[in-house]
């Protein structure tokens, strides 16, 4: 019965002026455009809140089916704030700003019934706090999704497969090699070998700062996969320091062609594929 009474009391408070008072409470020094956007967000949240209350939603269980539209609205708010570059704290503070307009409405409408006022105030506090918590969780999930997507895009941009010559592909490696990046390089390179019908692939490690046992193992796996596709591989960019490291680590690169720079690797690749380049007479 108390839950029904609190729901009825909150429904009574959700007047059109609440959205304006909410934005006034949370807007601060925001521009006119930002205030209009906040009013739209506030209106959508209030509409979803009204729907949940009408469905008999319990303020202690925001994950109940009755609050589905409210959860969707909160997640939409979080995605919007992530895209705008705002923080989780700012987003949560905006939701918490709903308390004051509702409390002001309680004082006006239920002033003659202190017990009902306290009960409704507690229900409002629980519900709005849970809304703010849900918003923070949604914000963090959305932010993690954005970061993961950006990392994937950076990986793809940092491992381009370039066609150097007919039947010759090259992959310039820049930065540290790890399992995830090696897997992406392997998948991209093998796909391009199939599409281009390439006979030779050059893996240039000039931009790789260090080569340890793990990096060498990743390179060997990539070379093995290339050979299984019927192509050969040349590793270029092996600097003196990297050569010494490979020898000291006891890494066996026998059977894998290697060159000091990409130009030498390309010359070797052209020779192996039957091309010969000569300087034109002056």
Length of the chain (residues)? 282
Q: Say if residue 2's pLDDT is above 60.
A: no
Is 2-152's fold the same as 162-272's? no
pLDDT recorded at residue 282: 61
pLDDT recorded at residue 180: 72
Q: What is the rounded distance in angstroms from the CA atom of residue 52 to the CA atom of residue 135?
A: 17
pLDDT digits 0-9 by tens, 26-80: 766 667 777 788 888 888 888 888 888 888 877 778 888 888 999 999 999 998 8
Instruction: Return mean pLDDT, the chain.
Output: 82
pTM tops 0.75, yes or no: no
User: Which tokens is 23 given?
Assistant: 């934005």
Output the CATH code of domain 162-272: 3.30.750.24
pLDDT recorded at residue 234: 92
Q: What is the mean pLDDT of residues 267-271?
A: 89
Q: Say if residue 99's pLDDT is above 80.
A: yes
pLDDT recorded at residue 1: 39
pLDDT recorded at residue 30: 67
pLDDT digits 0-9 by tens, 217-232: 777 888 888 898 889 9
pLDDT recorded at residue 5: 63
Q: Say if residue 18's pLDDT is above 90.
A: no
Per-domain residue ranges of the chain: 2-152, 162-272
Environment class of 51 (CB within 10 Å of its CB; exposed 0-12, middle 13-18, buried 19+): middle
pLDDT recorded at residue 160: 83
Give which of 110, 95, 105, 124 is closest to 25, Cα–Cα. Answer: 95
Residue 168: pLDDT band with limits 50, 70, 90: very high
Looking at domain 2-152, its CATH architecture is Orthogonal Bundle (1.10)
């Amino acid at each position: 019965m108390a839950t029904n009474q609190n729901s009825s009391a909150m429904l009574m408070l959700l007047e059109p002026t609440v959205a304006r008072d909410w934005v006034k409470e949370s807007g601060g020094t925001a521009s006119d455009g930002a205030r209009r956007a906040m009013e739209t967000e506030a209106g959508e949240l209030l509409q979803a809140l009204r729907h949940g209350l009408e469905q008999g939603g319990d303020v202690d269980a925001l994950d109940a089916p009755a609050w589905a539209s409210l959860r969707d609205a909160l997640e939409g708010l979080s995605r919007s704030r992530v895209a705008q570059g705002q923080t989780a704290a700012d987003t949560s503070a905006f939701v918490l700003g709903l308390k004051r307009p509702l409390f002001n409405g309680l004082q006006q409408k239920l002033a003659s019934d202190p017990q009902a006022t306290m009960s409704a105030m507690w229900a409002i506090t629980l519900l709005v706090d849970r809304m703010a918590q849900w918003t923070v969780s949604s914000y963090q999930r959305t932010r993690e999704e954005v970061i993961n997507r950006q990392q994937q895009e950076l990986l793809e941009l940092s491992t381009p497969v370039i066609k150097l010559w007919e039947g010759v592909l090259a992959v310039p490696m820049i930065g540290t090699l790890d399992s995830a990046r090696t897997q992406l390089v392997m998948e991209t390179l093998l796909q391009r070998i199939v599409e281009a019908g390439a006979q030779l692939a050059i893996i240039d490690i000039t931009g790789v700062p260090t080569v340890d046992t793990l990096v060498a193992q990743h390179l060997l796996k990539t070379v093995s996969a290339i050979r299984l596709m019927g192509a050969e591989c040349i590793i270029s960019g092996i600097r003196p320091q990297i050569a010494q490291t490979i020898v000291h680590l006891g890494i066996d690169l026998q059977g894998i062609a290697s060159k000091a720079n990409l130009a030498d690797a390309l010359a070797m690749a052209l020779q192996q594929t039957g091309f010969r380049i000569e300087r034109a007479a002056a």
